[in-house]
């Protein structure tokens, strides 16, 4: 983002001068959050401020890129060939804008992308209709770069009276884009056809809803954090650091309110997910195989280096499990080895040590602490020099093993000359686990083994948000529990569920207060006394069917901790049963 570009776009902005200037001003204040001198109402003056702003921003950006470069340099990126890729990527480039060359493809993609923001946009809310004048011209300017396309689309949609939240900077880009595009009309037409999936009442929702897709989809815009941060700010901060804290101190983050529930798609459970992925072909299998073969050629070297007292750590994108397995099967068949699946959620150092003492050393005794056990192991290995052990650890950086104490123990273990450790790490911050002392104990040799193979095993234990852990399960268990209850109890529960569903749209719904609930239950002849209801509720609570919260006024509120969809399904099922 050099200055020339800024001025160029400034010049461009001169072409847009028939836009009423107060509206331009309004936009600037709205979007970039940069202070604009209000007194400058004259057209030419406003254009001048425009240019000024641009320069300011470009300056800021340049500085930012510079700082990121420094950061990456500080990371110790080396300027050598195998890692040359790394050095080429200065931090700045990670965020900076680059026009993709395969313009047609990307434009196509962008057109696909562009359809999404329209879906949740509500045409009723109008705030800045002034864009109308600008859009045709700007749309005539851009085609080659995808985001330009997209933004012109945004502008089109604005012409359909949208709340404009396009960051000011993006508009600048739009203006700066190459003037190739002939027309944008067909896109807008296609867009307008499908803009009714959901209607959202609140302006803010539209605002944010429109904003996030923009952020997500424009694959080459600068980091939106600036625009975001600026939005919350009154004055422009100079240093990135302050910006950072600014952004993190304000808890308000603008994202759309859409949830997965509203997406009319069933959640997948672990099994179906697995099946589906089995069906999906693995992309670039041949290349991945090549990569793996490349790594496999290093096996004998690894063996040699392990024997010379080094330990080996593998890093890089992709699961290294298969690679290690192959190493194991091809070279370690005849020797004593121990495989540790670090990604397993209940693995502990103790279990590792136990398996060494019990299975490798044939020792059947217990130890008071892992340290004692470690000492014992060290002693045994020192006494018996013929004893050799290969330890393979998948995911040395997993949740359970990344603690300081476990790493210390593992490091001490690996420093034994007759224990050969070969491990893999995946987490980006994994190297932070080790301080100087541990590093020297580990005596690592780093090997980059990027495999690109999916982390099948490793992620299967993660509690992903998207994988339905409990959805169908919850429903069936709900039914199951309720079937074993009395009719009255089921009635009570249904009452609560209905009430909760009625109130599902109010976000501040605290739950049904006990007193109200009691009243309702009495009216439905479900309970006859306060106590019976309480007893019933206790039973529910024991089965985790309900949760009680105490409100600010000390009143007890009852909530069913199940999402609305499941609850609806449940009620439907209940209706059928009845």
Partner 1 sequence: QQIQENLNKQLLDNLVSFLIRSHSEFQEKTTEWTCRMKFREIPTAALVLGVNVTDHDLTFRGVSDALQDNITPYIALLEAKDCPGIKNLMQKLMGQLMNCDVDVDSLEDENCVQVSQNRTRCSMSSLISWYENATKKTDSETPSRKRNSSSRHWQSPPVVVIFKDMESFTTKVLQDFIVISSQHIHELPLVLIFGIATSPMIIHRLLPHSVSSLLCIELFQSLSCKEHLSTIIDKLLLTSQFPFKLGEKVLQVLINIFLYHDFSVQNFIKGFQLCIVEHFYSQPLSVLCCHLVDVKKRINSLSHDQCENIRRLPSFRRYVEKQVSEKQIALLTNDNFLKEETERLLEDLHVYHENYVSVLRCLHVFTSSLPKYPLGKQIRELHCACLENRVWETEEYESFLQLARMLNKTDLVTMLQQCVEILMSSSGKEFDKTVEKLKEFLTQFQNLEAEACQEQDVSVSSQKELQKKTDLYHLQKTLLELKESRRSKKLTKFEMLRFEVVDSIDSLVRQYLVPADARALHEVVYFNAATVLRGHLNAAPRTALHTALNNPHWYLKNKALKCDGGGISNKAPDICIVYKLHLECGRLINLVDWLEAFSTVVMAAEEPNADAASSDQVDDIIHARFIRAVSELELLGFIKPSKQKTDHVARLTWGGC
- What is the smallest separation between the CB atom of 237 and partner 1, expressed in angstroms? 12
Identified binder of partner 1 from the candidate list 455, 509, 514, 557, rule CB under 8 A: 455
Task: Name every residue whose Cβ is closer than 8 Å to that of residue 11 and which is 6 or more positions away in sequence.
Answer: none
Task: Name every residue whose Cβ is closer than 8 Å to that of residue 179 and which is 6 or more positions away in sequence.
Answer: 140, 141, 142
Identified binder of partner 1 from the candidate list 189, 203, 308, 524, rule CB under 8 A: 308
Identified binder of partner 1 from the candidate list 14, 66, 73, 317, rule CB under 8 A: 317
Which class for 553: exposed (0-12), middle (13-18), buried (19 or more C-beta within 10 A)? exposed
Beta carbons within 10 angstroms of residue 485's beta carbon: 17
**Choice between 393 and 537, CB closer to partner 1:** 393
Phi and psi torsions of 421, nearest 5°: -110, 130
Task: Name every residue whose Cβ is closer than 8 Å to that of residue 467 and which is 6 or more positions away in sequence.
Answer: 267, 268, 269, 270, 273
Q: Which residues pair with 390 in a beta bridge?
A: 337, 420
Q: Please tell me whether residue 452 binds partner 1 under the rule CB under 8 A.
A: yes
Q: Please tell me whether residue 213 binds partner 1 under the rule CB under 8 A.
A: yes
Binding segment for partner 1 (CB under 8 A), chosen from 41-49, 301-309, 490-498, 567-575, is 301-309
Q: Please tell me whether residue 276 binds partner 1 under the rule CB under 8 A.
A: yes
By CB under 8 A, the residues from 432 to 451 that bind partner 1 are 436-437, 439-440, 443, 445-448, 450
Q: Read out DSSP for 75-104?
A: TT---SSTTHHHHH--HHHHHS----S-HH
Q: Please tell me whether residue 101 binds partner 1 under the rule CB under 8 A.
A: yes
Beta carbons within 10 angstroms of residue 301's beta carbon: 12
Q: Which residues pair with 445 in a beta bridge?
A: 312
By CB under 8 A, the residues from 465 to 504 that bind partner 1 are 465-467
C-alpha dist (Å) from residue 345 to 23, 139, 457: 57, 53, 12
Which residue's structure tokens are 């999906």?
280
By CB under 8 A, the residues from 339 to 398 that bind partner 1 are 343, 371
Identified binder of partner 1 from the candidate list 37, 248, 382, 515, rule CB under 8 A: 248
Binding segment for partner 1 (CB under 8 A), chosen from 13-21, 284-292, 334-342, 510-518, is 284-292
**Choice between 97 and 344, CB closer to partner 1:** 97
By CB under 8 A, the residues from 25 to 54 that bind partner 1 are none
Q: Please tell me whether residue 167 binds partner 1 under the rule CB under 8 A.
A: no
Q: Please tell me whether residue 259 binds partner 1 under the rule CB under 8 A.
A: yes
Q: Please tell me whether residue 561 binds partner 1 under the rule CB under 8 A.
A: no
102 Rama class: left (phi>0) / alpha (psi -120 to 50) / beta: beta
- What is the smallest separation between the CB atom of 254 and partner 1, expressed in angstroms? 7
**Choice between 261 and 538, CB closer to partner 1:** 261
**Choice between 20 and 403, CB closer to partner 1:** 403
Identified binder of partner 1 from the candidate list 48, 301, 382, 534, rule CB under 8 A: 301
Whole-angstrom Cα distance, residue 228 to residue 578?
Answer: 52
By CB under 8 A, the residues from 507 to 546 that bind partner 1 are none
Task: Write the DSSP symbol of residue 430.
Answer: G
């Amino acid at each position: 983002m050099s200055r020339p570009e800024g001025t160029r776009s400034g010049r461009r902005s001169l072409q847009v001068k028939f836009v009423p200037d107060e509206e331009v001003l309004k936009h600037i204040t709205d979007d970039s959050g940069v202070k604009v001198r209000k007194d400058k109402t004259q057209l030419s003056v406003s254009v001048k401020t425009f240019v000024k702003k641009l320069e300011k921003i470009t300056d800021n950006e340049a500085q930012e890129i510079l700082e990121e470069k420094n950061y990456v340099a500080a990371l110790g990126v080396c300027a050598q060939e195998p890692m040359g890729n790394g050095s080429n990527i200065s931090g700045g480039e990670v965020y900076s804008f680059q026009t993709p060359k395969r313009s047609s493809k990307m434009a196509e993609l962008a057109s696909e992308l562009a359809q999404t923001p329209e879906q949740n946009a509500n045409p009723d809310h109008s705030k800045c209709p002034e864009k109308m004048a600008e859009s045709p011209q700007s749309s005539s300017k851009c085609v080659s770069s995808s985001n330009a396309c997209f933004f012109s689309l945004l502008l089109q949609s604005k012409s359909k009276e949208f709340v404009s939240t396009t960051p000011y900077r993006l508009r600048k880009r739009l203006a700066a884009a190459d003037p190739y595009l002939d027309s944008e009309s067909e896109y807008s037409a296609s867009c307008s056809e499908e803009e009714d999936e959901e209607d959202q009442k609140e302006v803010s929702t539209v605002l944010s809803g429109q904003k996030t897709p923009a952020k997500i989809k424009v694959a080459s815009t600068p980091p939106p954090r600036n625009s975001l941060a600026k939005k919350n700010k009154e004055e422009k901060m100079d240093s990135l650091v302050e910006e950072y804290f600014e952004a993190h101190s304000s808890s308000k983050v603008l994202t759309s309110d859409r949830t997965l529930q509203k997406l009319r798609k069933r959640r997948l459970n672990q099994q179906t997910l697995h099946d589906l992925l089995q069906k999906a072909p693995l992309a670039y299998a041949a290349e991945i195989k090549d990569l793996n073969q490349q790594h496999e050629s290093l096996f004998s070297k690894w063996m040699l280096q392990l024997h010379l007292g080094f330990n080996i750590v593998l890093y890089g994108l992709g699961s290294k499990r298969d690679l290690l397995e192959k190493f194991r099967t091809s070279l370690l068949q005849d020797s004593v080895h121990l495989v540790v699946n670090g990604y397993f959620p209940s693995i502990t150092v103790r279990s590792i040590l136990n398996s060494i003492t019990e299975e490798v050393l044939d020792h059947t005794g217990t130890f008071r602490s892992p340290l004692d056990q470690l000492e014992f192991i060290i002693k045994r290995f020192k006494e018996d020099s013929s004893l050799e052990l290969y330890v393979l650890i998948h995911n040395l950086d997993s949740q359970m093993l990344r603690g300081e104490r476990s790493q210390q123990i593992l490091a001490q273990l690996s420093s034994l000359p007759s224990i050969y450790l070969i491990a893999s790490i995946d987490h980006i911050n994994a190297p932070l686990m080790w301080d100087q002392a541990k590093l020297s104990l580990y005596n690592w040799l780093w090997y980059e083994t990027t495999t690109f193979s999916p982390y099948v095993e490793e992620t299967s234990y993660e509690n992903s948000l998207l994988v339905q852990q409990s959805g169908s399960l919850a429903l069936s268990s709900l039914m199951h529990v309720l079937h074993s209850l009395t009719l009255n109890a089921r009635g009570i529960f249904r009452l609560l569920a209905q009430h909760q569903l009625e109130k599902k749209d109010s976000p501040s719904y605290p739950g049904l207060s006990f007193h109200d609930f009691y009243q309702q239950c009495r009216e439905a002849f479900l309970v006859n006394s306060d106590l019976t209801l309480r007893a019933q509720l206790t039973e529910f609570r024991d089965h985790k069917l309900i949760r009680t919260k105490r409100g600010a006024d000390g009143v007890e509120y009852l909530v069913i901790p199940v999402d609305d969809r499941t609850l609806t399904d449940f009620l439907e099922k209940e209706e059928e049963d009845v």
